Each structure stands twice: as C-alpha cells, then as structure tokens.
Structure 1
Amino acid sequence: MRTNTARAVDLLVVLALLTAVTGAVAGCGSEKAGGHGARVGDGDPAPESEARARQVADAWDGSKAAETWRKGYYPLGETVQLPENAFRNGADKLAYGTRNFVLRGGLPATPQKDGKVKWESGGSLTLPLMGARKAYETVARGSNDGPHLTVTGAKLGEMTLATSRGPATVPAWLFTLEGYDTPLKRVALSPSKLPRPPIKPVGEVPTDELAPLGRLVGMAADGRSVTVMATHGACDDGPAVDVLETGGSVVLSASVVGTKDGPCTSQLLGEEVTVTLDRPVGDRLLLDAFTGRPVPNEENGPSPSQ
C-alpha cells in the first residue's frame, strides 16, 4: 500500500534530477491564469502556503541577497534562440529536442576576454566571455545516429533576453546551421553567482500542500505572466500554483490538488503552468516558496553550497 507520504519521498528524489536536467519531466502542458494572491488551480490557497509565501517575501525584502541579485546578471528568458521559422521538418525538431548535433569544421577562437551585459533600462555589467566550444557543448548534448542538426561555423554577435533586471542585450555565439538562413544563438555569458538565500527551505520532503517548483519555462515579453514547470503524481488531479505579489518579489507556491489515498505508482509528471500577474515582474525577485530561493531555470539552478 502506497500513501501520499511515500509518494512525496519519491517526488523529492526525482525533483533533484528535474532541477539539474532541462526538460527531464514528461507530461501534458496547459495554460492557466492567476493573479495577486490567487491559486492557479482548484480551490483557495492553504493558510500554511500563504504564511510561508509571506515569510519568504519578508526575508528577501531589503536583504543583502536581494541587493546582490539586483546587481547581477541572472537570465530569465531562453539563453538559446532558434533560427527563424525553425524547424524545417519533424526530423530537425526531434534532433533539437534530443540536442543531437554534428559539428562540421572548426569553431573560432574567443576574440576577447570579457563581454558586456547592457540593460534596456540603463547600466551594464562586464563578465567573462564564454568560448565558442563551451557554448556549443551546452547546446549539443546528444550524440547518436538519429536525426541531427549540422553546425558549419560560428561567429560572435548579440541577442536580447529577459533578465532579473529587465530586458538586456548580451554577447552571443551565432551558430550557422546547415539548411537555415538565420543562426541559432546561444548566450556567451554565464550568470552571476547566486546569493545565499536569507531563508531556509520549508523542509526536506515536499507535501501535497507545498512542493518545490520544477523550473522556470519562460516569461511573456511584457513581463505580465510567467510559465513554470509544476510537478504532481499519477494519483491526483494535477498541480496548482499560488501567487503572492509584493513590491519586491513574486512568490510562487506549488501544490497538488485532488490527491487520493490508496495504491499509487511513483510517477512524477510535469505540467507547464502559466501564471498571470497584476503587473510586470520588472526587477522583482521571482521566488519559490518551498525552497526560499529564486525559481531555477536551466542557467540558474541552485548551487551545491546552498
């Protein structure tokens, strides 16, 4: 007999892998909307969830960690941008999904030591420039005989993306793909070091009432909505996300609705949930109530020291 508690332990194990590996979860996506203090799902937020979200917001507000975050470079948008009108066919789409690339020819040497982040709102930050080889290896993770994309060259250019301080222009490697007129772009900078959170995680084991988010999937161009990967088990009605907006942060609390007692498999399912906000994220921190940390993405997962 498997209970919800046993299933929660299984979720914790897989969640650790989920935050380390992009796209590790499987499930069907959905778009749901919520607002200030609202639950994205069925029912009202649990009192414990609301209280925890407020604790996290209060801990970060005016903290040294928040000051460090607002001075650094933390991408919130996709650090890889696809060629225009990608993809030509299903095989190419599959190749990108499995990150199966072939390099034909060499990659250029890094022309300079540093690169600069330039924010649309003003200000800039100089960071070490990532080499073309390392940038390529962050994109090309597969190696098999299946469908593949062929990279024939690269040059240093720029791209724009959402960051914790608003839209920014950053250096990027522009990889030429065989069969495409426009390049695949990959940011040529690594994010700043994460600050140490001013509050500890709520606990070690997620529950149906509060669990860690999988990762940040994306943010709308106007900053009025964010999409996150929320997880749930095979014996419930799916995930819910509570939202607490303050002047300095947006705290997201993930939970599971419609849980059932009795036998249950230990599957972990992922579902994309889109949360609509009362106003744009701007430079507010996007926080996970369970961990007390910024919502992780493929570039900005929690460091081992945390």
Structure 2
Amino acid sequence: MRRPVLLLVLPLLVVAGCAPTRADLFDGPSDPQRAEAFDQRAAQVAEAWQPGPEWRTGYVPLEGPTVLTGDPRFTPDTEAAFRAGWYQAQVPLYPTRVGGEIRFPDGRLTLPLVSAAEAYRQLDQGDPLPCPGRPKRPGLPTPGGPTVEPGPDGWTTSTAAPTACRSLTVTGVTLGSVPVRTSRGEAQVPAWLFDVEELAAPVARLAVAPTAVGRVPEPTAPAEPLPDGLVSAQDLAAVDGARLIVRLGVGACDTAITPLVWERPDVVVVGGSVTRSTDVCPAILKMEPVTVTLAAPLGARPVLDVSSGAALSIAPR
C-alpha cells in the first residue's frame, strides 16, 4: 500500500509582458545589476546546453506518464485517489504487446508499446490505507469521534472533515493517443486510456515501452552560485504557444516576485527575481506559479532553469 501524499494548493501570479529581462522592470539602485546578472547567467546556461542526438531524433518525454485527457470533475475524494494511484479494475486487462507510432511536428517514430495489463500495473500504486470511522463511500456521514487524516509523516488524529478511503474504478480500456510535450515539441503519443467510473474524463497512461524512452540530459550549471535576489525555476505548469506558466522556487517571505526569461532561436532560459525579507522567516521553499510570454511560440525549444541549467518538464496534471 502507498502512503498518501499531502497536497498543497498555491496561488497563481500572472505577469503580463514579453521577455521581461530589461533593467527597467525593476526599482531601486541594485535592480539593473540584478537584471544584467540574470542575462549573463542565462547566456552561460544556454551555451552549456549540449544534448545528444537522441534529443532531436528519439522520444524524450518532458512530462509524466500519467495524463488526464480532460476535466475529470474531481471531488476531494477522487482527487486524493488519483494523486495516490489507488485503482481497482473491473474489466479484463490483456497482456498482448503491440507497436505504435509517435507523431512529432518534424516526423514519425515507431516504437514498442507495453500491454494494457502492464500499463495498469504502472498506474495502480496500491490500495487506500485503512480509515477507522470513515465512510466506505464519499458523501456519507461519519460516526462521531475523531477522524484520521493523512499527513506527510503518516496518519494523525484530526477533527477535520473526513475523506473517504476508496479506489477509483476502471470500467474500460482502449488504445489511443494523447498530446505530450517532448524534446521535439508537442507530439501525439500512444497511450492506454482507462475509463474511470468516478471521473468525467479517461486517465491516460503513456504506452511507450520503458526501453524506448530517452532520458533528459544531466544539466551543466555555471560554477558560480546563483546571484542574490534571483531564484530558480522548478518546472512548467503549462505551455500554450508563446505563453509559459513557470513555477518558481521562492522563500516563504519573498515579495516582488517577478518572472525573467532569456531566449534565442534554439533555447529559452527562465528564472525569477525576488525581494528578500529582512525579518525572521521560516526556511521553506514555496512553489510560486508565474506567467511569461515569449517573443515567439516555444515550439521544440527546451526551457532551461537559470540556476541548475536543467531542462524543465511539465508538472504532473
């Protein structure tokens, strides 16, 4: 059985504009230096980016293998089950393996696929933990007395509203395809589409065999530490043409959070600028979504973190 994961909902900070790397985006005597420091480091990161041939000719996915195909109309119960990977199958799952074709913007690639049974084994992460005093189905009242809530270190006593401990029910499976961001841009990738009784949209598990999946290259970061006042990008929340939603890693008390982007025809580098608090502040990394608009659609260009030089992937959805 898999331990539950504590979910954190974060606010979305939207910043309009194109490629905000100019010094006039900042206030104060030190801000022009900060903007210049970002541009210099971004150029170093871009120059160090040297992926192998597989990046341009193979299949290197830049998002996770489980994808929602539409709005699932989550309830708190079904979202918890989805994030934890709690499923039960009520249909046959056949072990037959087949081949499939990935359609990239610049061509096609035929690769081996896993069977529906293998995809389900990858999708299913076990059963819910026992929930004493909990309803067996969502929406039913809970008997009096304390309830048990999942936490980062296990189960703890709580009087908060209960969440039913139940799995999602798989009622059908078909082989289809879903859009996936890859090193060669957005591709149509074969996937097993699992119909789930409790959700309004199928859950897709990418079907490409693990042996055919390429790895994202290890990053090469500049030798110097990230200049003070700049922060790293953790991942991408969404890509829509020239519009990116980037999650920055900021401090709990940071203010004036501003996205920064540096781009050239073959690569994009992102990060952010913050104002640090002078007060005592807990040492907590906060994921802050921000929006940037590129000068041109992203296409197949990699998006690199200005701190580590890592290629950013799409956050789980």
Determine whether 1:75 maps to 2:92.
Answer: no
Residue correspondence of structure 1 range 59-208 to structure 2 within 5 A: 59-60=48-49, 63=50, 65=51, 67-76=53-62, 79-82=65-68, 84-87=70-73, 89-96=75-82, 98-105=83-90, 108-119=93-104, 121-136=105-120, 138-141=122-125, 143-144=128-129, 145=131, 146-180=165-199, 182-189=201-208, 191-197=213-219, 200-202=220-222, 208=228
Letter in 2 for 1:251: V
Separation in 2, partners of 1:128, 1:285: 26
1:274 corresponds to which of 260, 273, 291: 291
Deviations 1:117-157 (A, max 9, x none): 112x3412233423445534554446335254222342322
Separation in 2, partners of 1:259, 1:216: 24
Paired residue for 1:216? 236
Residue correspondence of structure 1 range 278-297 to structure 2 within 5 A: 278-297=295-314
Q: How far 1:218 moved relative to its partner? A: 1.7
Deviations 1:196-252 (A, max 9, x none): 54xx213596664344322122211xx211112111112221643211110111111
Asked whether the 8 Å contact 1:76–1:219 carries over to 2, the reply is no
Number of residue pairs matched? 268
Separation in 1, partners of 2:254, 2:292: 21
Task: Tell me the secondary structure at the aligned position of residue 214 of structure 1.
Answer: strand
Asked whether the 8 Å contact 1:29–1:273 carries over to 2, the reply is yes
Paired residue for 1:19? none
Against the structure 1 CA distance between its residues 84 and 281, is the aligned structure 2 distance closer, same or farther, given a 3 Å change threshold? Answer: closer
Unmatched 5+ residue regions in structure 2? 132-164
TM-score norm. by structure 1 comes to 0.73
Separation in 1, partners of 2:71, 2:236: 24
Against the structure 1 CA distance between its residues 100 and 187, is the aligned structure 2 distance closer, same or farther, given a 3 Å change threshold? Answer: closer
Separation in 1, partners of 2:256, 2:8: 14
Decide which moves more: 132-141 or 179-188. Answer: 132-141
Asked whether the 8 Å contact 2:178–2:191 carries over to 1, the reply is yes
Asked whether the 8 Å contact 1:33–1:276 carries over to 2, the reply is yes
Separation in 1, partners of 2:111, 2:75: 37
Unmatched 5+ residue regions in structure 1? 1-21, 300-306
RMSD of the alignment, in Å? Answer: 3.4
Letter in 1 for 2:239: M
Against the structure 1 CA distance between its residues 89 and 290, is the aligned structure 2 distance closer, same or farther, given a 3 Å change threshold? Answer: closer
TM-score norm. by structure 2 comes to 0.71
Determine whether 1:243 maps to 2:229.
Answer: no
Determine whether 1:53 maps to 2:38.
Answer: no
Separation in 2, partners of 1:270, 1:41: 26
Separation in 1, partners of 2:298, 2:183: 9
Asked whether the 8 Å contact 1:26–1:269 carries over to 2, the reply is no
Against the structure 1 CA distance between its residues 168 and 83, is the aligned structure 2 distance closer, same or farther, given a 3 Å change threshold? Answer: closer
Q: How far 1:297 moved relative to its partner? A: 4.0
Q: How far 1:171 moved relative to its partner? A: 0.8
Decide which moves more: 232-241 or 38-47. Answer: 38-47
Letter in 1 for 2:168: L
Separation in 2, partners of 1:175, 1:258: 46
Structure with the greater alpha carbon radius of gyration: 2
Letter in 1 for 2:238: G
Letter in 2 for 1:195: P
Paired residue for 2:12? 29
Paired residue for 1:304? none
Letter in 2 for 1:216: L
